Every structure is written in structure tokens, then in C-alpha cells.
């Protein structure tokens, strides 16, 4: 594993355990197998580390919202599955992104907020394709309901996130919830 990746993974764990402000650069360096000051050879500081973690997550999540099927329902199911697996696999990072976004400073805060807006718009477009009769307000409610359900995985006990068929359960529950907007 390269040094930057080790620092980022360690930071995600520490930010989850102690919070962004409760984690020192020295502690981060020590846990990553470096001295605290050595962190600065890789990142300008904790702010850049946090922004990089969020940016990497957004890269994967936004990339997974691109349509790949002609069938809008299949696309939405694929998105739900991917995002549920992402949330289970990276539950500490998802948790940190929900709790520590207020710790981001500009210019990173503005950049991440733009990307989050793009991400939600991609989801809304997928939901609108799947439920063409839904009003814009219903599309927003359906989107936020799906995302809230999926990302709540970050707060589940670890053993539950390893449940066989977790993604299938999430797809089924989200699909049944979305069906309410089709009636």
C-alpha cells in the first residue's frame, strides 16, 4: 500500500473514532507508521486529508450514477446496490463524511458541496427516469429517502453490515418504497 493511501485510510479510522478535531497530526502519523511532521510531505495538513477522503468518495459515488442500461429501473437498482455496498465497505468514511463535513474549510468545502449537489442531481435524474409520473417534489423526496436509507448503513453495527444479501435487501426495500410514488 502506498504511503498516501495508508495515511488516508488511517485518517478515516481516526476521524471516525475521535472526530476530525480530536485527531492530531502526530497521532495520525504514529498510527500510519510515520512521524507527525512526515505527514506534511504528503499532505498540507488534516484539512487536505479530509478533503481528499471526501473527494475520493465522491469520485466513486458520482461515477456509479451514470446510466448503463436502457431500462431506468435496472439502472436505479444498480445504483442502490452499488451505494449500499459502498456504505457497508466504507462505513467509517461515510460516517465521517456525514459528521465532519462542517469541518471542511474553503476552498475544499465549496468544491465538495458542488460535487454533492451534482451527485444528488444525478440521483434525481435516475429516479425521474424510473418514475416519469413523479412531480419534481416527489422525485426529491424519493431520492432523499433512498440516500438516507442507504447511508444509514454507516451507523449500523459492523456485523449487520456483513449480512449475506445486504445489497439485495436494500434494493428490495428501496424499490418497494419507490413503488409508493408510482401509484
Q: What is the pLDDT of residues 85-111, one digit of tens each?
A: 899 889 899 999 988 888 888 899 999
Identify whether the C-beta of residue 12 lies closer than 8 Å to the C-beta of residue 92.
yes
What's 19's domain CATH number? 1.10.10.60
What tens digit of pLDDT does each residue of 35-65 get?
Answer: 878 999 999 999 999 999 999 999 999 988 8
Work out the average pLDDT over 110-115. Answer: 94
Same domain, 57 and 9: no
CATH number at residue 172: 1.10.357.10
Sequence-ordered list of residues with C-beta below 8 angstroms from that of 45, at least 6 positions apart, any chain: 25, 39
Phi/psi of residue 165, nearest 5 degrees: 75, 15
Domain that holds residue 19: 1-43
pTM (two decimals): 0.86
Cα distances (Å, whole numbers) of residue 110 to 46, 113, 116: 17, 5, 10
Neighbours of 65 (CB within 10 A): 21
Amino acid at each position: 500500500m502506498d504511503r498516501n493511501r495508508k495515511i488516508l485510510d488511517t485518517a478515516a479510522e481516526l476521524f471516525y473514532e475521535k472526530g476530525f478535531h480530536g485527531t492530531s497530526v502526530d497521532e495520525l502519523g504514529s498510527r500510519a507508521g510515520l512521524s507527525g511532521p512526515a505527514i506534511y510531505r504528503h499532505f498540507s495538513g488534516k484539512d487536505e486529508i479530509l478533503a481528499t477522503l471526501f473527494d475520493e468518495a465522491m469520485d466513486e459515488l458520482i461515477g456509479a450514477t451514470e446510466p448503463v442500461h436502457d431500462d431506468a429501473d435496472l439502472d436505479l437498482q444498480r445504483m442502490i446496490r452499488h451505494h449500499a455496498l459502498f456504505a457497508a465497505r466504507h462505513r467509517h468514511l461515510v460516517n465521517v463524511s456525514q459528521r465532519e463535513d462542517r469541518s471542511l474549510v474553503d476552498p475544499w468545502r465549496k468544491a465538495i458541496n458542488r460535487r454533492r449537489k451534482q451527485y444528488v442531481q444525478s440521483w434525481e435524474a435516475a429516479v425521474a427516469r424510473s418514475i416519469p409520473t413523479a412531480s419534481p417534489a416527489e422525485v426529491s423526496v424519493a431520492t432523499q429517502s433512498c440516500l438516507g436509507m442507504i447511508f444509514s448503513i454507516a451507523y449500523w453495527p459492523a456485523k449487520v453490515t456483513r449480512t449475506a444479501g445486504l445489497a439485495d435487501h436494500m434494493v428490495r426495500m428501496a424499490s418497494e418504497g419507490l413503488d409508493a410514488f408510482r401509484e
